[in-house]
Structure 1
Amino acid sequence: MERLDGNTPIPDHLAGAIVALGNFDGFHAGHQAVAGRAIDRARAENRPAVIATFDPHPMRHFRSDTPPFRLTTLDQRQRLFAQAGADAMLVFAFDGDLASLPARAFAEHRLVERLRIGGVVTGADFTFGKGRDGDVDVLAALGREMGFGAQTVAPVDDGAGTISSSRIRDFLTAGEPREAAALLTRPFAVQAVVEHGAQLGRKLGYPTANMRLGAYLRPRYGIYAVRGRLPDGRALNGVANLGIRPTIAGQAEELLEPYFFDFSGDLYGQKIEVELIDFLRPEAKFDDLDALKVQMAKDCDTARAALKEG
């Protein structure tokens, strides 16, 4: 699947595409409905299908002091967009230049001149342009004027409310990954390169893979049943600590540290993905390492049971 730069002209073979346009952080069920409508329309009209996203997230541009909140990296989104059936992912770099473009200029210079779109599909709450001077009605009017069709997709409701990235973040920070997964249609997953650590887990008999959280949202600190995905395609069940390990003196950095059952091998330097399946318990401070080791054995048993549930 191709990854395109939204600041450069689109290749000829993707001109005339139907473009799904939005932030799509998380690519949850609501986002998938927008993308699905664009892909279905593209196939019906024999056109390419492109999903366009923004990076960094506009909130990061306007409020740089916002705590980490991302649900997916660009690499994860590219894989998810490909699985949905898109021909390419297009990334608009959200910077001062893009933020200063009025809605009309964005449609004319980015969508028409550079992307040469055949049509665009957005969610019903989509806004764009300097000061958010454009919405779906403005986009439709500009499309009629400039020669592209604009469609909107209604929000997806799961019976408890509109599916949104905000609800997903709330579930994750509350320690409810299964509820978040229901809206995402898959478990929330952290993808990062495994780094060297103090190797304390190895000394305790539970070697872990140390992963920095980077720009990801911080789910509730605690112990999770997890499933790892290795670069070679293997899936591994395990248990992980997410947080700062309060028992370990001097450990203040937030890390995700999975221990994979029945696995032996060197993961250092490899980019792996770890799905949070179930929250088992909050982080706790133990009197000594022996007490911690006893609890780790219990956590492994609890995680194995949770993972059998799916």
Structure 2
Amino acid sequence: MTPFRIEDLAGVPAALRGATVALGNFDGVHLGHAAVLRAAHAARPDLPLAALTFEPHPREHFRPEDPPFRLTLFPAKAAALGALGAKTVFALPFDANLAAMPAEAFVERVLHHTIGARHLACGADFAFGHRRGGNVEFLAAAAEARGIGLTVVPAVADAGGPISSTRIRRALQDGYPERAAACLGQPWEVRGEVFHGDKLGRVLGWPTANILLGRHLEPARGVYAVRVALADGRLVDGVANVGRRPTLGGDPVTRLEVHLFDFSGDLYGQEIGVRLLHFQRPDASFAGLEALKAAIAADAAEARRRLAAG
């Protein structure tokens, strides 16, 4: 799989042109997104499969003051799209120029001229161009005029309704990672680089690896049973806290602190992926370090029980 950032509308190598292309923001790469990629491939299995997405997410461009909301940042998104069969992931920089580009120009300059798409697939609510002036009806006509096919994919739904990135964000913010995982097709994961903290966990007997959420969505604050993907490919069970450490006076930003079960090693400077599996309790303030230590022990025992149960 080749992640390719389109920095120049004339700069796509000829070898990457002529694909069947799935279109979307693909935040989270959930089951609905997977259906769009399957449809793109099924329509033209003779062509290489590609995905075209936008970086940053258009909402980050138009509403930069919003709290972070991303389910997946680009490296994780590209990897997930690749796992679904995309041989190329085109990342189109979403800036003022792209935001001002009329829908007709987007089809002509980007889809037709730059990437040479032979077939397209998108969700029924896909919109594009200046002020979202292009919808699927417009895209169908504009694509047909250029000899490009189009498959419009209905929303994938379950008992809870249509699956969407918005619904997954809400589930995570409400403390239901299992519901998010059901929509994603896999547990939600936060990736980040382990940084040096104040080593208090080590003093308490519960050493932790600390990462910042960065541009990721902040899920419900509290304690989770987790599984951690290490840089060397190992998966290690653990217990994590998402919060601002109110017992210690509070932090200015939310951090994710994870204690890995039965593990010893130096993770500083390495990127890890923390998969939130079960929410155990909300973030809380304790009377002192001994009470905090006892709570961590109880949380760890509960996480082991939950993870062993599956």
**Could you tell me the TM-score, scaled by structure 1's length?**
0.97
Compared with structure 1, are the counterparts of its residues 42 and 272 closer, same or farther at alpha carbon in structure 2 (3 Å cutoff)?
Answer: farther
Aligned to 1:246: 246
Partner Cα distance (1:160, 1:47) in 2: 35
Partner Cα distance (1:231, 1:113) in 2: 39
* Secondary structure of the structure 2 residue equivalent to 1:247: helix
Look up the equivalent residue of 1:288 and give its one-letter code: G
**One of 32, 35, 48 as aligned partner of 1:33:** 35
Aligned to 2:264: 264
* Secondary structure of the structure 2 residue equivalent to 1:30: helix
* Secondary structure of the structure 1 residue equivalent to 2:209: coil
Look up the equivalent residue of 1:278 and give its one-letter code: H
**One of 13, 16, 22 as aligned partner of 1:14:** 16
Aligned to 1:67: 67
Provide the identity percentage. Answer: 46
On the 8 A contact 1:39/1:86 being kept in 2, the answer is no
Aligned to 2:105: 105
- Residue deviations 1:30-52 (CA, integer Å, cap 9, x gap): 11100111123342xx2111011
Question: Is it true that 1:184 corresponds to 2:200 in the alignment?
Answer: no
On the 8 A contact 2:127/2:133 being kept in 1, the answer is yes
Partner Cα distance (1:5, 1:249) in 2: 43
Aligned to 1:198: 198
Partner Cα distance (2:158, 2:250) in 1: 44
- Residue deviations 1:188-241 (CA, integer Å, cap 9, x gap): 110000000000001111110110100111100000000000111100000001
Partner Cα distance (1:261, 1:214) in 2: 25
Partner Cα distance (2:179, 2:228) in 1: 19
Aligned to 1:96: 96
- Residue deviations 1:243-293 (CA, integer Å, cap 9, x gap): 101101253321000100000000000001000000000111111101111
Q: Structure 1: where are the runs of 5+ without partners?
A: none
On the 8 A contact 2:30/2:183 being kept in 1, the answer is yes
Aligned to 1:86: 86
Look up the equivalent residue of 1:191 and give its one-letter code: R
* Secondary structure of the structure 2 residue equivalent to 1:210: strand
Look up the equivalent residue of 2:17 and give its one-letter code: A
On the 8 A contact 1:6/1:110 being kept in 2, the answer is no
- RMSD (CA atoms): 1.0
* Secondary structure of the structure 1 residue equivalent to 2:108: helix
Partner Cα distance (1:160, 1:183) in 2: 10
Aligned to 2:117: 117
On the 8 A contact 2:120/2:149 being kept in 1, the answer is yes
**Could you tell me the TM-score, scaled by structure 2's length?**
0.97
* Secondary structure of the structure 2 residue equivalent to 1:78: helix
Partner Cα distance (1:11, 1:48) in 2: 14
Look up the equivalent residue of 1:258 and give its one-letter code: V
Alignment of 1:121-270 (within 5 A): 121-270=121-270
Partner Cα distance (1:10, 1:250) in 2: 48
Look up the equivalent residue of 1:28 and give its one-letter code: H
* Secondary structure of the structure 1 residue equivalent to 2:236: strand
Compared with structure 1, are the counterparts of its residues 42 and 10 closer, same or farther at alpha carbon in structure 2 (3 Å cutoff)?
Answer: farther
Compared with structure 1, are the counterparts of its residues 263 and 148 closer, same or farther at alpha carbon in structure 2 (3 Å cutoff)?
Answer: same
Look up the equivalent residue of 1:212 and give its one-letter code: L
